[in-house]
Structure 1
Amino acid sequence: MDYTVMMPAAGSGTRMGAGHNKLFLELNGKTILAHTLVVFQQDPWCTGIILAIKEDERAKIEMIIEQEQITKIRALPEGGSERQHSVKACLAAHQSGGIVLVHDAARPFIAKQVIHELATCALLHGAAVAGVKAKDTMKYVTDGIIEETADRERLWVIQTPQAFRYEILEEASLRAEKERFLGTDEAMLAEHAGYEVRIVESTYDNIKMTTPEDLAYGGYLLKKRLEETI
């Protein structure tokens, strides 16, 4: 099954404390962005990659693409100040419809099996997101006072990729723009537009490189995967 992956890559390193785009930070001598791109370059189901970028980072990103021999890049549109705007730019650059995945460029540890389950689920049902079951007890708190303990069995931590039939994500994006609705992820836009979104169980390794602690753990995951292949 074919899909195109869209990656908002116009963020910054605020929480990482990097002072620049965290995607340029390195894990074992290779940038986070490079590690993520290689995952999709090596997946035979992936027929195209669209990256929403900052214009002043274009040359550096093009250099990474060339160094890693990423041949599936279809477009490098300019991203926006919000994730939603960057995804909109990716949608506008994509002309062939089909199944589209939106993935955080800072999640280099997504498993191919999860990607394939998401693409299949989106084809059958229209929309699907990756997630893992909450491990910890969760509570609703107001003004520092616990009001209620949430039912952990119904709570999931949402990740990416998030997969859609192209027309569903496009409609959800257009509706959000028209209604000036700002969502935290693409699933929220689809929900807002009235679509049912399925969940596909992912792995706890599929972390987003957000803080220095994540970077340290990412180094451990890379070492672990290397040892498993030897």
Structure 2
Amino acid sequence: MKYYAIIVAGGSGSRMQNKIAKQFLLLDGKPILMHTLEAFAACPLNPEILLVLNIHQHQYWEELCKAHSFTIPHQLIKGGDQRFHSVKNGLKAIKGKGIVAVHDAVRPLVSSALISRSFEAAEAHGNAVAGIPPTDSVRKVLFDGKTEALNRNELLLIQTPQTFAIEILRKAYQQPFRNEFTDDASVAEYSGFTIHIIEGARENIKITYPEDLEMAAILNKKGS
């Protein structure tokens, strides 16, 4: 079986209050994105890595790779206007069948064990989407501004990797973009596929705000 990883790096960094796109911010001395690619390179299934990046950032990324002597093999793909279009561009670069994991570039603490489990589960079930139960109480905001409590035991916080048999994801991404498509699971589900959930990891955080980067640094040191 052939395995692939599409790493989606489309963040602008606006919520990080930083002019540098968040995937390029330093975590323990090197860009977040490099940690993410290293995690997939460490997977025993040896996935082929495709990095989807805004075309205007390709040269900057290549300069960073030289500066940090970063040599992990990967194919650089032009990003799209939305995450949906970026993933679609990544899929176009894959020929033939196999299993593909789609992962947020700014989840650098994903473990090779979780990556391997996602590939194996997708091979068995057609797809595998990482998720964890919330620990906080959860409320829904209603149209009138009021809120109502939800049962957190019926909810999951969805992460990446989100991993699929390539033919399933290709079929799902043939449909037009919709605003409801927030991740690959929502795209596949709208196409009629049932989503298979696997257990994610608490440390597999998405770096969105400055405090997330601080937490990632602590977790990274703990895991090293």
Into which bin does the TM-score normalised by the smaller protein fall?
Answer: over 0.9
Specify the SS of the correspondent of 2:84: helix
Among 209, 212, 223, the alignment partner of 1:211 is 209
Distance 1:203 1:59, change over 3 A: same
Q: Spell out structure 1 runs of 4+ moving beyond 4 A.
A: none
- Give the Å deviation of 1:47: 2.7
- Give the Å deviation of 1:128: 1.4
Q: Distance in 2 between matches of 1:197 and 1:65?
A: 36
- Report matched runs for 1:45-194 at 5 Å: 45-65=45-65, 67-71=69-73, 73=74, 75-142=75-142, 143-147=144-148, 149-175=149-175, 177=176, 180-182=177-179, 183-194=181-192
* Structure 1 unpaired stretches of 5+: none
Q: TM-score, normalized by length of structure 2? A: 0.93
- RMSD of the alignment, in Å? 1.5
Q: Distance in 2 between matches of 1:106 and 1:86?
A: 15
Q: 1:7-50 CA deviation, whole Å, 9 max, x = no partner?
A: 11132101111113111100111110111111111222133111
Q: TM-score, normalized by length of structure 1? A: 0.91
- Give the Å deviation of 1:2: 4.4
Q: Tell me, yes or no, if the aligned pair for 1:114 and 1:200 is still in contact at 8 Å.
A: no
Q: Distance in 2 between matches of 1:146 and 1:11?
A: 30
Q: 1:75-121 CA deviation, whole Å, 9 max, x = no partner?
A: 21210121001000000111132000000010011122211111111
* Structure 2 unpaired stretches of 5+: none
Q: Tell me, yes or no, if the aligned pair for 1:9 and 1:52 is still in contact at 8 Å.
A: yes
- Give the Å deviation of 1:57: 1.3
Q: Tell me, yes or no, if the aligned pair for 2:43 and 2:115 is still in contact at 8 Å.
A: no
Name the % identity.
40
Q: Distance in 1 between matches of 2:206 and 2:83?
A: 15
Q: Distance in 2 between matches of 1:186 and 1:99?
A: 14
Note if 1:5 corresponds to 2:5.
yes
Aligned residues: 220
Note if 1:201 corresponds to 2:207.
no
* 2:30 alignment counterpart: 30
Q: Tell me, yes or no, if the aligned pair for 2:40 and 2:115 is still in contact at 8 Å.
A: no
- Give the Å deviation of 1:65: 4.1
